[in-house]
Structures are given as C-alpha cells and as structure tokens.
Structure 1
Amino acid sequence: MIFPPLSFEFLQQTLLLLPEKALFWVEEQTLIIADIHLGKVGHFRKAGIGIPKQMEQDDLALISDLIYEYKPLQIIFLGDLFHSEMNNDWDWLVMWRSMFKEIDMILVLGNHDILSKKFYSDLNFTLHNTLVIEPFLFSHEPLKAIEQANDAYVICGHIHPGVTLKGGARQLLTLPCFHFGARQAIIPAFGKFTGKVCVKSIKGDRVFAIAKNKVVSF
C-alpha cells in the first residue's frame, strides 16, 4: 500500500515527500531514492549473521509499487545501491531491472558502490559522481560549500538522517526524516536494513519526519 505524500513547494519546484522514504520531483517526473544497500543482507548472512532473506525483495517490491503509483520517467539513486562485494542478492536486482526496461535509471555513485561499473552498465544504469539537473545538484554525500557548483541546491543521502523526539517521561524516539538546510537537503535511507543518525538543525532549516506512514513538518 502506498501512503499519501506531503507536497513541498521548493525553489519553484514541486517535491513530493513520500512516507516510503523517497522523493518524487513532479516537474521532471523523477523518483529519487537514497541508500538502499541491496546486498547488505547477503553480506551479513555470508558472515553467519541471521538476517531475514526477504528484506531485499521487500525493498525492490516497494520501489515497484512507487513506480506503478507515480509513473516516473527516470529514477535517480543517490548512492549505495548495492552494499558491498558481489553476492547472490545481485540476482534480485537483475530480475527487477528487467521488469522496468523503459525507465531511465541513474546511479550517483556512493562509497559502498564498489562493484565494477560494468555490472551497472550491463543493467543499463547511467553512472555519475554528481549530477546537475537545475536547480538541483544530486550527490551521494553532503557537499562542503567549496564543493558546491553552479549555485545548484544539493540533494543527497549517505547520512541516513533522523530526528529525535523526546517524550514527557524521558522517552526518546528517532524517526527518519527529510532535512532541508540552506544549501542542501538530505533525504532518508530507503533500505529497511539501515540505521538513522540524528541530524542537527539550525534556524531556518525545514525538517519533515516520517511517522506512522505519514510525513509531517517538524
């Protein structure tokens, strides 16, 4: 089931913040996803750590649902598509890609994308270190001010951002979030088998938490 998004007008563009921890850019009909970490389950299982096998299939099935719902012309993966070295989980990605041959798929390379580029090109992924589609620059990691180019606003992943809520009885709950700062936005990690890091905010930042299948302004 796909849940209603929160529409966010930003830089004269319409961004749909999806409770499924992805972003849909309406004007470009582009789905944007960060940090799936496919293969991480196989990586840990290979090391003898018991992780449910279906996690990989669940993540790809959810992307399929988002494709059917939003009908993107292209998908931009903001790095860490495949977690590490080759394992059997790659076969799921091969099968899934074959279902959506008509969609342009772009991988902005991340620190975990260590496989030979030929594997991705064989699946018809276009590879970039960073990618500019005005008014945005897409990167895996947040960029320092000196690295930012063309005055484009950066959209990135890597951090697995979260926001921590404090209850009256000292309860702490960290929720995944979209964090929009002055010069760049960090979007949540899509993969189920990922953690969260609380991101510090300053005055003027916009933070949107994902709580109970709903995106809310924080």
Structure 2
Amino acid sequence: MKICAEAELNLLEQTLLLLPEKAIYWQEEKALIAADVHLGKSGHFRKAGIAIPQNIAQEDLAVLSDLIAQYKPAKLIFLGDLFHSTLNTDWDWFALWREQFPKLQIILVKGNHDIINDAHYHKLDIETPMEYSIGPFLMLHHPQTEAQLATAIGYVMCGHIHPGVRLQGKGRQSLTLPCFTFGERQAILPSFGKFTGKVAIRHKGDDHVFGVLENRVIRV
C-alpha cells in the first residue's frame, strides 16, 4: 500500500490529519471523515446513455478500504452526498463493501443528493442524521452563512461545494487543486469521489488552505 504524506492540523485542541485521499483522520475520536463521495454517479450517467467507466465506484470504495486498513477508525463520517442519486448497480457494490466492516460505525450526514430512502441505509447499519454533533464539531453537508455560523453550536465541518484553490505560476500558467479550507468557524472538505469536479473558491485572508496533490497535502 502506498504511504502518503498527510498534513497535521491542530484545531480546538484536536489533531486532524489531512490526507491526500481528500479525507480527514481525527485522531482523538478515531474518526475518518469524507465529503461528497457521489457513489453511483457513473451508473447514473450510464443509465442516461453516456459512456462512463464502470469501475469508478469500486475504485472509491477501494480507497476507503485502504484508509480503514491504515488508520483503523472506530467510526466513518460522511458529510453528505454519499450516493449521487437513485439506486443503481453501484449500490450493490456498496452493500458488499459495507459487509467487510461490520464493527465500523458509519454516519451519513445527509446532503442534497442523498435521496435514497433511509431504510436502505439502516439495513446496512448506517445512521442518517441531517446534522451530527461530536466533540467541538458540528458535522453538516452545506456550508453555512456568516449569520448561521454566529449561532451554530460547534465548529462546522461540511462539504458540498467541492472546493479548489488556484495556484498561479510566474508566467500565465495556473493550476487548480482540490483543497481543505479552514476558516474561523467552518471547515470545507474537498470532494472525495473520483468522478467529481472542483471549483476554485474565494478564500478569506485568514483562512488556512491546504492543497491536495497526488500523494501529499501542502499548505498554500
């Protein structure tokens, strides 16, 4: 298994390892956190007649399996959009994958794409809250406005917007990397799934931004 270089961040007296697989390992809680996996998205496009490789979902699940083997989390927290749309053949792969980790607590904080009936998740022993408070953090899917953050109980971790950071070279060349963004009251995670895009977002001057390369995370 490839050993990758994570970045360590101490936040609210908690140790977060930012992983190049675009997930976070929270040491104190032994929790693996990922946003916007979008399983089933390739199957959704194939049903619409668009030629998409069939193994994308299996690849994302294999990455999750590798992270579980490496970090041995007690819980896995998905920050929304775990499955892209309605049930398709990729759900069967996901159900088989879940069977490999019967002792792992899995929480899906529901996102706008999570339209599959909760009963299907509950059969796989997966919790489906709309928000999840744990330690100093409030786990959500959608980023919160400044007004919402002012009344939020906990530091928000979320996803949804698939954030990226644009790096400019000395010439006109530029590169947009997936990124983790940590603001004063809110962190936005990059999208975990391979079949997802990224959008360069406007960061505040005091944000802590970490770009994701193929096998390491860098502070930018």
Both proteins in one fold, TM over 0.5: yes
Letter in structure 1 aligned against 2:210: F
User: 1:115 aligns to what?
Assistant: 116
Match of 1:153 among 133, 143, 155: 155
Secondary structure of 1:143's counterpart equals coil
User: 1:137 aligns to what?
Assistant: 138
Q: TM-score of the superposition, structure 1-length normalised?
A: 0.97
**Shift of residue 144, structure 1, vs aligned partner:** 2.2
Q: In 1, Cα distance between the equivalents of 2:174 and 2:92? A: 39
Identity over aligned pairs, percent: 54
Q: How does 1:58-207 map to 2 (within 5 A)?
A: 58-148=59-149, 149=151, 151-207=153-209
Q: In 2, Cα distance between the equivalents of 1:195 and 1:169? A: 25
Q: In 2, Cα distance between the equivalents of 1:143 and 1:165? A: 25
Q: TM-score of the superposition, structure 2-length normalised?
A: 0.96
Q: Which moved more, 1:168-177 or 1:69-78?
A: 168-177
Secondary structure of 1:60's counterpart equals helix
Q: Structure 1: any 5+ residue segments left out of the alignment?
A: none
Alignment coverage as a number of residue pairs: 218
User: 2:215 aligns to what?
Assistant: 213
Q: In 1, Cα distance between the equivalents of 2:183 and 2:24? A: 16
Cα shift readout 1:51-81 (whole Å, capped 9, x = no counterpart): 1111110000000000000000000000000
**Shift of residue 150, structure 1, vs aligned partner:** 5.2
Aligned CA-pair RMSD: 1.1
Q: In 2, Cα distance between the equivalents of 1:33 and 1:120? A: 17
Q: Is the 8 A contact 1:2 1:20 kept in 2?
A: no
